[in-house]
Amino acid sequence: MTALRQRKGSKGKEHPPLGADFQPQQTNCCTDHHPEKMLHGDWSWGAIVWTSVGWSVSVGLGLLCCIYVAMLHENDLWFSNIREVEREISFRTECGLYYSYYKQMLQAPSIQEGLSDLIHDNLTESKRTINLLQRMNIYQEVFLSVLYKLLPIQSYLEPVYFYIYTVFTLQAVYVIALYLTAWLLSGSWLAGALTGVWYILNRVDTTRVEFTISLRENWSLPFLALQVTAITCYLRPQLTSLQQKVMVWLMYVMTFCFCLTWQFNQFILLVQALIIYTLDCVDFLTTTQVTTLYLVQVSGLLSVWLLQFCNSMILGSLVLSFIVAALFIRHCQKALQLRSDEHIFKFIKSKFALGATRDFDASLYLCEEAFGLLPLDTLERLAGTLLLYPYVLTLLLLTGMLAVAALQNLNRSKGGSTEERKGAAEGRAVAFRPDVAYNLLHTLFFGLLAFSTMRMKYIWTGHMCAVAAYGVCGTELWTSLLTTLRCNIKGLLRLVRYAVPLAMICCLYYKFWPKLMEELSELREFYDPDTVELMTWISTKTPKHAVFAGSMQLLAGIKLCTGRVLTNHPHYEDKDLRERTRQVYQVYARLSPEDVYEILKAVGTDYVVLENSICYERRHRRGCRLRDLLDLANGHIMDGPGENDPDLVPASHPRFCEAIKTDTTAYTALFTRTFQNKTFHVYRLKKKRKKSTKNSSEPTTTL
């Protein structure tokens, strides 16, 4: 929908080897400094300076990433120079819907009235009053709007900049969290530096924040990364009781923030719960650790459940079923009549060929590239930045060591006296550090998820940078290699651990710094005159409470730019809304004008917007175009050459979005064209008169 054009005049502590015998006398002789080292009483000048440098580098890399994505956003759109309506149109699809609530809260006479309007909203879905705080994860928009009103910044910072700068700042938090995870695992902040460099250089595969600012994952993933950092620290040995309690509270707060800001939190936490369960099964975690991690997840989810007005989708989630009691929750799901997330399970069933489907909702996901398999060119890009090779080597080495350690733990646990089993439990960290084991399974599980669904790669690739940096700067990989070469000297090990990451950072700087500068020199400009014309017309020529029907993506923009009432929208986590969307989309199917009119009137439509890009779509292959999905769901033969299932039949009516443009009597009797340009056609629904006793073959209408 939105185009970009070139601007005029612009350029285009050292850890013993995993599996080594326990040597307590070596515990405190390590010269590396973890970020929590001073908490254990090491207040030497060397520790203070080295740790301070490490923290400074983390903040510097975080700010560098923040500034980098902010400049890309400005350079792509010339955001500072375009009109307000163009800025709002640049919030694509569901991003525009979420940002509209931030705008709505700012325009409210008071915070209380703004909250009341969100709790009793009748603009987002026509003929319905819904609680937006229950239905959607928009507390971040509420929080930012309140903060903007309270802070004395209105005179020099526009609301839109306050919003986007907050999101970009979260990217800095994300980088710092990954940095700390790598530092904790390896014992060297050079691993954190390498992590931050890799994250920035692989921006295409680690984030898409610069063009999808309001997307929920851009709010939530920084908190997930912080939670993983807190878990990594919690699972480290030698923490005092107070430090453990602090880590537990940090885990809870980060889990809560993560769950509050993304509707798919339950599926991510389910994978995390499976990781914890796996580690528990192979005896890498103590009972206290397992119980604590589970309780943190449950507490975070239940806190969000309360804030979202007892949202049944959270209470009946699989992760709670897994943690609390699968059988009990399974019976509760019947009582709760959970249908909000059933489209996800239909999608999973169809994606893994567990049954053919013509289900409209599942097909809508399956046909999107973001929900397909991870493209192989992703791996080529990751290899080009020297990230993939150390990651794979680290993964293979640690997986082998984990398997050996797991077998040893299981053998120790079999039989024996209580004292022997207790001794085995105390020695489980000797075979394999719990923090390393957690991060290894985290990257494995989410890597598999990324390969199965491309959109999930953004959860995996950031953590992948931390794991690869740990492999380069940690002891395990180099100890194995030097032992194989029969030159495992402690001084040489330390030299390699510092020299190799520094050499890699220098190599990456030499190779990619000119490319980054070239990328930042490319200046483009937002250019979408047809959409701007449409939004301007709607704002000036239609009633303020007019109801608009159309595609989910376009209607989100209409809500943001004009404040008009919608029939449907992109937040798809509601059964009734999905059915309403499928009905509204019949304007692109082969139905009679009378049937389409009745469908649109049933949801209170005053205007319907038809898009040529959907009606004559060529972006998707046959069978995945929206009109094809509708034909299949309606049992009709699809357009164009190709095979059709034998049970499909020809439609008895032409395609509505095409036929209405012919202005035949059957269509003009029910619809009046009120606006058109090269991209959009807008029709107003006429009011039907009651049929007279003479009753004609076609209904009479009034304008």
pLDDT tens by residue, 257-279:
999 999 889 889 989 988 988 88
- The reported pLDDT for the residue numbered 30 is 38
AA letter at 214: S
Instruction: Please check the confidence at residue 614 and state whether its pLDDT lies above 80.
Output: yes
Q: Confidence band (pLDDT; 50, 70, 90) for 323? A: confident
Average pLDDT, the chain: 85
CB contact set of 550 (below 8 Å; sequence gap of 6+): 558, 567, 584, 608, 609, 610, 611
Rg (CA), the chain: 29
CA 680 and chain centroid, separation = 30
Instruction: Please check the confidence at residue 45 and state whether its pLDDT lies above 90.
Output: no
AA letter at 500: V
- The reported pLDDT for the residue numbered 346 is 57
Bridge partners of residue 526, in order along the sequence = 4
Going from the C-alpha of 417 to that of each of 287, 420, 638, 658, 675, the distances in angstroms are 18, 5, 69, 79, 83
Residue scoring higher pLDDT (101 or 44): 101
Instruction: Please check the confidence at residue 328 and state whether its pLDDT lies above 90.
Output: no
Instruction: Please check the confidence at residue 373 and state whether its pLDDT lies above 90.
Output: no
Q: Stretch 496-501: mean pLDDT, rounded?
A: 91
Q: Pick from 44-58, 278-292, 351-365, 551-565 the range whose average pLDDT is largest.
A: 551-565
Question: For residue range 428-481, what is the model confidence (pLDDT) as tens digits?
Answer: 444 689 999 999 999 999 999 999 889 899 999 999 999 999 999 988 888 888
* Positive or negative: CA dihedral 604, 607, 611, 616: positive
Pick the CATH number of 529-685 from 3.30.70, 2.50.20, 2.60.40, 3.40.50: 3.40.50
CA 330 and chain centroid, separation = 27
Residue with tokens 């099964």: 281
* 257-290 burial: b if 16+ Cβ within 10 Å, else e: bbbbbbbbbbbbbbbbbebbebbbebbbbbeebe
Neighbours of 157 (CB within 10 A): 12
Share of the chain above pLDDT 90, in %: 63
Q: Map residue 688 onto helix, strand or coil.
A: strand
Instruction: Please check the confidence at residue 22 and state whether its pLDDT lies above 50.
Output: no
Instruction: Please check the confidence at residue 548 and state whether its pLDDT lies above 60.
Output: yes
Instruction: Please check the confidence at residue 625 and state whether its pLDDT lies above 80.
Output: yes
Bridge partners of residue 671, in order along the sequence = 685
- The reported pLDDT for the residue numbered 493 is 83
Q: Confidence band (pLDDT; 50, 70, 90) for 324? A: low
Q: How many CA atoms lie within 13 A of 220 on its CB side?
A: 21
- The reported pLDDT for the residue numbered 21 is 35
Domain ranges of the chain: 93-156, 166-334+359-410+433-521, 529-685
AA letter at 319: V
Instruction: Please check the confidence at residue 426 and state whether its pLDDT lies above 80.
Output: no
Q: Map residue 249 onto helix, strand or coil.
A: helix
> Helical H runs in 108-154?
111-119, 132-135, 139-150
Q: Stretch 565-592: mean pLDDT, rounded?
A: 93
Q: Confidence band (pLDDT; 50, 70, 90) for 533? A: very high
Q: Map residue 297 onto helix, strand or coil.
A: helix
> Helical H runs in 542-679?
552-562, 575-584, 593-602, 612-615, 626-634, 656-659, 665-668
Question: For residue range 198-211, what is the model confidence (pLDDT) as tens digits?
Answer: 999 999 999 999 99
Q: Measure the CA–CA gap between 408 and 419, rounded to whole angstroms.
A: 17
> Helical H runs in 187-286?
189-201, 203-206, 216-234, 241-261, 265-281
- The reported pLDDT for the residue numbered 422 is 46
**Lowest mean pLDDT: which of 238-252, 273-287, 685-699?**
685-699
- The reported pLDDT for the residue numbered 206 is 96
Q: Measure the CA–CA gap between 270 and 321, rounded to whole angstroms.
A: 9
pTM, rounded to two decimals: 0.87
Question: For residue range 629-687, what is the model confidence (pLDDT) as tens digits?
Answer: 999 999 999 988 888 888 899 999 999 999 999 999 999 999 999 999 999 999 999 98
Instruction: Please check the confidence at residue 95 and state whether its pLDDT lies above 80.
Output: yes
Q: Is 228 exposed, middle or buried (CB count within 10 Å of its CB: 0-12, 13-18, 19+)?
A: buried
Q: Confidence band (pLDDT; 50, 70, 90) for 27? A: very low
Instruction: Please check the confidence at residue 11 and state whether its pLDDT lies above 90.
Output: no
CB contact set of 395 (below 8 Å; sequence gap of 6+): 440, 443, 444, 467
- The reported pLDDT for the residue numbered 177 is 98
Residue scoring higher pLDDT (391 or 361): 391
Q: Measure the CA–CA gap between 432 and 284, rounded to whole angstroms.
A: 7
Q: Stretch 577-586: mean pLDDT, rounded?
A: 94
